[in-house]
Chain A
Amino acid sequence: MTILIIAWRNIWRNSWRSAVVIGAMSLGVWSGIFMMGWAQGLNNQRTVTLLDDNVGHGRITSFNYLEKQDPSSIIDNLKSVEEMIIADPNITAYSSRVVCNAMVQGGSGSAPVIAYGVTPKSEQSLFSAARNISSGNFFKSSFAEDVVLGEKLANRLEVEIDDRIILTFQDINGGVHSALFWLVGIYDGASNLLEESMIYVPKGTISSQMGFTDTTNIDFNFNSIAHEVNYRVKEPYQIEETSSSLEGEVKKREIHNDNSLIFRTWKEVSPELGVADAILAQSLLLFMMIILLAMSFGILNTMLMAILERTRELGMLMAVGMNRQKIFNLIVTETILLSFFGLPIGLLFGHISLYVTSKTGITLKSVEQGLAQYGIESTVYPAIVPEYYLPVTALVLVLSFLSALHPARKALKLNPIESMRVL
């Protein structure tokens, strides 16, 4: 107990110097936490934008289609799957799609694309790419011979609204099929890559042209055909719960044979987004570590000065019987107290700053266009990052301990007699 008292009072022997160290530590933690919240907010915004634009939060796909890219491998018993999705209170929107790898030709060239056969209303309720029509309109009917391209692709093919577009694709019988479509709309996607590779066609039309009419016979109903179902949940970062719940429900109801459906979250559908989250988390901690490492050198220097000033006193403590372990504990306790005083102040200010800016947002007018390229709005809303507070606290603790080692070692090397001679 006395060691803690001595350590605490020793800190305040030179209150100005200690205040500077504590201030520097607070400032370091504050700026570090704010930068973490800022970067996290930026990344969250980018992720949410891409998820809303075309990825979705969760996806159910026919296993055979995913594995073999066989166009005939549609989701069996789609209606039951859709009923299950509608019944889930966490799911706010869904869209069943027919997926077709195709070659698009028009104007001055051709390009490989993925053509999504969609019902306009459900697709537009789910994805912003289908809503953000920069020219023309999104098709209204599921049976029209209409097509919607991305801006980038339209520019590349040099096509305009009402131009003819030819799609060449494989039907379900393995034959190559070509069909004529009319360009009715051009969408503004979240990224150039998306705009170049994804096109929309009416689900009924493409289903029929792919040959599904034959397999479903006279009662052809395109609503029962889909290769994948995309859905959105209330909280995208908790998608795992909903995905598992849907998978469990399918097995419980015996809607499908085992493993005939694949349930994936957005992190699995678009791994680069999930990986970006993980890399960001590690990068932010690394960034914080660098800030704190710089701080710890300041602490180390302060403690070395303190040892130098108290050489005589430390010599006396050893002379009267304070053992090396206790001397070591004293130095380490002082160092950790010094760091830990700055930590809560930094965390508090960091938290308040993030709380306020997460409501107001910070607008970056000068880099507006650059951010837009990546699908990020110019007003960034930093995220409150309580999940980093504990690792930051642990980092401060570890680095404080490490920065105490050298001064403590110096103190332990002191000779009581020689130290007490120091004036």
Chain B
Amino acid sequence: MSLIRLKNILKIYESQSGKVRAINGVSVEFESGEFTSIVGPSGCGKTTLLNAIGGLDKPNSGEIWIDKTEITKMSDKDLIDFRLKNIGFVFQAYNLIPVLTAIENTTFILELQGVPKRIRNDRGMELLEAVGLSDKANSRPNQLSGGQQQRVAVARALASSPRFVLADEPTANLDSKSTSKLLDIMSELNSKEETTFIFSTHDQRVIDRARRIIYLEDGRIK
């Protein structure tokens, strides 16, 4: 059975010009360990689809199953808990907590899960080492470059060993060197920790590294 299953997802937004079908009947499945890019032009519904998979946005109709759980039927409260335990997020704008250091940001999810301090610090350092930032463990986000911040965000997303990681245009704000480094890291973690990665992107550098590509246009899979 696939890890993630989307059945006939429909998401409609109300706008001034009328109703917009951001996702228009999408059905797709993702296997465990995938390294997949959802690509398409701006406004094609990539982020909306990713948000729906992550339980951040509820579709108007259709079903989303994560393993044996249908998240489209979950309450907001249960969804928060489900996200905490099962999904890692990497956002376009890094979204680190500005008052926490790199190691504190990395281990933040583990703290929310109630993992003991020693264990979460070991895991945090292991991941910062994996993303090449062990020497920046005590630096705050404003002391890190954009690329470094995004690597901390990846480390944070992976800290609790989630079932899958959703990355919304993770390289959009990065230069070539940082993009390349980040993709290397994610690719390596995908192989080493068998973590499932699903990206939304229109960055060719990411598309080139993806092992599966899903094209989205006008809310439909092409």
Contacts and interface: CB of A to CB of B under 8 A. Distances in A.
Given A321-B112, A322-B80, A316 B91 contact: yes
Interface in B50-72: 51, 54, 56-57
A13 B99 contact: yes
Contact of A313 (B89, B97, B104, B156): B97
B193 interface: no
Contacts of A2: 100, 104, 108, 111
Give the residue among A1, A2, A5, A317 with the most B Cβ atoms within 10 A.
A2
B56 A321 contact: no
Contacts of A326: 112
B216 interface: no
B80 A324 contact: yes
A73 to B, nearest CB: 77
B57 A417 contact: yes
Contact of A420 (B85, B91, B109): B91
Interface residues of A, number: 22
B181 interface: no
Contacts of A1: 111
A312 interface: yes
B77 interface: yes
B184 interface: no
A6 B96 CA distance: 12
B91 A313 contact: no
A318 B80 contact: yes
Contact of B81 (A6, A321, A417): A321
Contact of A321 (B80, B95, B97, B99): B80
A416 interface: yes
A421 B77 CA distance: 21
B98 interface: yes
Contacts of A321: 80-81, 83-85, 87, 109, 112
Contacts of A13: 98-99
Contacts of B54: 319
A320 B93 CA distance: 14
B15 to A, nearest CB: 14
A339 B57 CA distance: 37
A9 B109 CA distance: 18
A324 B85 CA distance: 16
A312 B98 CA distance: 12
A412 to B, nearest CB: 11
State the 8 A-B residue pairs at the shortest beta-carbon distance, nearest first. Answer: A321-B84, A9-B99, A316-B95, A321-B83, A2-B111, A323-B80, A417-B56, A417-B57
